Chains A and B, each alone.
Chain A
Amino acid sequence: MLAIVLGRILRMVVVMFGISVVTFAIFFATPASDPAARIAGRNAAPETVEAVRKDFGLDRPLPVQYALMMKRLFITRDLTSFANRGQKIIPAIANAAPATLSLVTGAAILWMLGGIAAGIIAAATKGRWPDKILMGLSMAAVAMPVFWVGEMVNLVTQSRFHDTWAFSWVPPLGYAALSQDPWLWFKSLVFPWLTLALLNIGLYGRVLRTGIVETYQEDFIRTARAKGLPARKVLLKHATRSAIIPIVIMFGMDFGVLVGGAAVLTEVVFGINGVGRLTYQALKVLDLPMIMATVLYASFFVVIANAVVDMLCLAIDPRMRRA
């Protein structure tokens, strides 16, 4: 058991190292493109480019460049943005993280509750109307681009119906820190949460329903029924418990990806200053160090989330505990 956990952590570290190398390679070792010129920005003077080359050590061999970059990212933490001179990158990400975390955590609670409820109800009423309606809705939810849903929500809540009783409470777009005004924080996040959760409710509901329906074909479900357990207990305790494992794995992946910045589209549409929007803004000015840092931060988060989920699966499923 301990060996499995240690092995998993070790693999996590190895993957993180690999990711940092790949990321570095994408930004600084792509053939036929001069990173210094791109960092300096479009139409930069040759002197600026030269200064950048010196500053980032881009005239040194690649492994040294890599080591330097990692040192400035993780040890001295003084890597600075070039587009916004003087802006230190690590603090910028740290400041943006709470907004992203608020957005994703709230949405995650919604989509887990909604997805699991939808999946169980649909599986329990397989082939009948509740199932058909839920699965139809989930199919539609999965088909919509999240930023478009956000725009449509804004259209309704901020513009067309903002003056009606239903939506007059919705604050203007933006993010309010939880520590400053919890009520405003909540109000301003309600629709971003719903928007972000919508797609995943559909997705998780479908996956869970399929899982439960497939589990019902298993011999151990027949055993549970044969020993006279009530249908509800068979569904919730025996079928759902097994079918939920893929959901937990998916959740770890999605949560990590979103906190890591894949919520960028939602953040941009709702004007939330999270990590995703930070990346988006860096993208507009081609702020290479910033983007590299956010990408690294994001993928590290995914790797950690995956490792946590694997441990969670060990707790759920005793079969995985065998070495």
Chain B
Amino acid sequence: MGPVTGGMSILPTDDNTPSPAATAGEEAWVSRGPWRRVLEGLLASPTAVLSGLLLLVIVLATLLAPVYAARVAGSDPFRSGLSAKIEIDGERVPVMQQSTEGLGLGVTPIGPTWGPQYFLGADTQGRDVAARMLYGGRNSLLIAGASTLLCLALAAVVGIVAGYVGGRVDSVLSNLIDMIWAFPVYLLAISLSIVMIGKSYSFGPFEIASDSLIVPILIIGIVYVPYVARPVRGRVLALNQSEFIMAARGLGIRRARILLRHILPNVATTLIVFAPMLMALNIVTESSLSFLSVGVQPPNASWGTILQDGQALLYSRPVVSMAPGLAIMVTVLLLNLFGDVLRDVLDPKSARGR
């Protein structure tokens, strides 16, 4: 910057700490917006790229469940196959095998064949566990994803209204949040499920069947709302007091516009930071609730219901329990790894010295 206006230039540059503008040429300058920096930060992290790609693989695999069931496994994973027989090494073998232990009474489902049919064996109803894993994964991911979105949306509304409107509305909402916070999540979910499961609802033209996935989505989406709404409210309160909101008010910007253009985009980062962590948490919650039979209802499958099916076969056919547990663990691990990087990128302050 040369001496442009009278009496302005004392030193050659404005500051001693060279600004980016001072180092880069004017023409070569590419402005990097906040979102773009987040993307660049993610792409610069091998952890984020790798975990993101692997998550994508998992999602694609579960989406291909019908293809796998029809083309590879060749059986309907939702119909019991108690009398089915399959061919192994040229021999026809029943899926439900006579138990060789004890008195030889009862039947045990076939173990892993490591072949196209019954790759991971069968469950107590003779259904192909591998195919059910894919279908179940699809449901688990769908429930976790949808309930995450629901939870974030509800928490955003509650947190922003409480924080931005303030006053009486805030004290009612915050007290409600505090109260729901005190319920152990699983007990709250159990309570809600008792009320909601086993009945059909109709809201006008919409009908929710008793075994619909919407029920677990609603339950899981609701129970974690306080955990997100609280920090969102805190963020809005902090933003309300922040210099740039003060500046916007001083500039005479309308209240609605301040909310839309200044508060919301800055709350969005808080919500996005929560998304992968919440998704991971919801996967575990879904499996736990289904394991307690208050989550996904039969005949639908999820990783949780397969775990429940596997409970009875734990000592004889442990693979039925191991497979969904490992699937959950890997998915959750990947989500947490990705989420860690995302948080560091979105909130550089929390990344200090990490």
Contacts and interface: CB of A to CB of B under 8 A. Distances in A.
**How many interface residues does chain B have, given as a range?**
35 or more
A268 B183 contact: no
**How many interface residues does chain A have, given as a range?**
35 or more
A144 B288 CA distance: 11
B194, B294, B315, B325: most-surrounded residue (chain A CB, <10 A): B194
Interface in B308-354: 310-311, 314-315, 318, 321-322, 324-325, 328-330, 332-333, 336-337, 350, 352-354
B321 A148 contact: yes
A288 B190 CA distance: 11
B214 to A, nearest CB: 16
Interface string A1-34: 0000000000000010011001100110010110
B59 interface: no
B184 interface: yes
Given A139-B333, A213-B353, A262-B187, A15 B321 contact: no
A268 B178 contact: no
A143 B339 CA distance: 13
B352 A283 contact: no
Interface residue SS majority, chain B: helix
B37 to A, nearest CB: 22
A131 B290 CA distance: 35
B187, B287, B310, B318: most-surrounded residue (chain A CB, <10 A): B187
A191 interface: no
A145 B310 CA distance: 15
B336 A22 contact: no
Given A159-B315, A213-B353, A257 B195 contact: no
A151 B325 contact: yes
A204 to B, nearest CB: 15
Contacts of B328: 143-145, 148
A76 interface: no
A298 B288 contact: no
Nearest to A30: B195
A299 B291 CA distance: 22
Nearest to A23: B191
Interface in A236-293: 257-258, 260-262, 264-265, 268, 279-280, 283-284, 286, 288, 291-292
B73 interface: no
A214 interface: yes
A47 to B, nearest CB: 22
A33 B310 CA distance: 33
Interface in B274-307: 280, 284, 287-288, 291-294, 307
B179 A283 contact: no
Contacts of A258: 184
B333 A148 contact: no
B192 interface: yes
A265 B295 CA distance: 14
B267 to A, nearest CB: 23
A26 B314 CA distance: 36
A33 B199 contact: yes
A302 B333 contact: no
A179 B337 CA distance: 45
B272 interface: no
A217 interface: yes
Interface residue SS majority, chain A: helix
A288 B195 CA distance: 10
B185 interface: yes
A154 B315 CA distance: 9
A155 interface: yes
A142 B336 contact: yes
Contacts of A280: 292
A143 B191 contact: no
A18 B329 CA distance: 37
Contact of B280 (A143, A147, A152): A143
Contact of B179 (A19, A126, A286): A19
Contacts of A185: none
A105 interface: no
Contacts of A26: 191-192, 195
B338 to A, nearest CB: 12
Nearest to B318: A155
Contact of B190 (A33, A139, A291): A291
A151 B314 contact: yes
Given A19-B179, A143-B332, A260 B184 contact: yes
B292 A151 contact: no
B184, B186, B194, B322: most-surrounded residue (chain A CB, <10 A): B184
B194 A210 contact: no
B332 A295 contact: no
B282 to A, nearest CB: 12
A265 B318 contact: no
A288 B280 CA distance: 31
Given A262-B184, A279-B187, A217 B321 contact: no
A105 B292 CA distance: 24
Given A139-B336, A299-B182, A299-B184, A283 B292 contact: yes
16 contacts: A15-B182, A22-B180, A30-B195, A139-B337, A142-B336, A143-B329, A148-B287, A151-B307, A151-B325, A154-B314, A155-B315, A158-B315, A213-B354, A214-B350, A258-B184, A294-B187
Nearest 9 interchain pairs by C-beta: A148-B325, A143-B332, A262-B184, A143-B333, A159-B315, A257-B184, A18-B179, A302-B182, A143-B329
Interface of A: 15, 18-19, 22-23, 26-27, 30, 32-33, 38, 126, 139-140, 142-148, 151-152, 154-155, 158-160, 210, 213-214, 216-217, 257-258, 260-262, 264-265, 268, 279-280, 283-284, 286, 288, 291-292, 294-295, 298-299, 302-303, 306
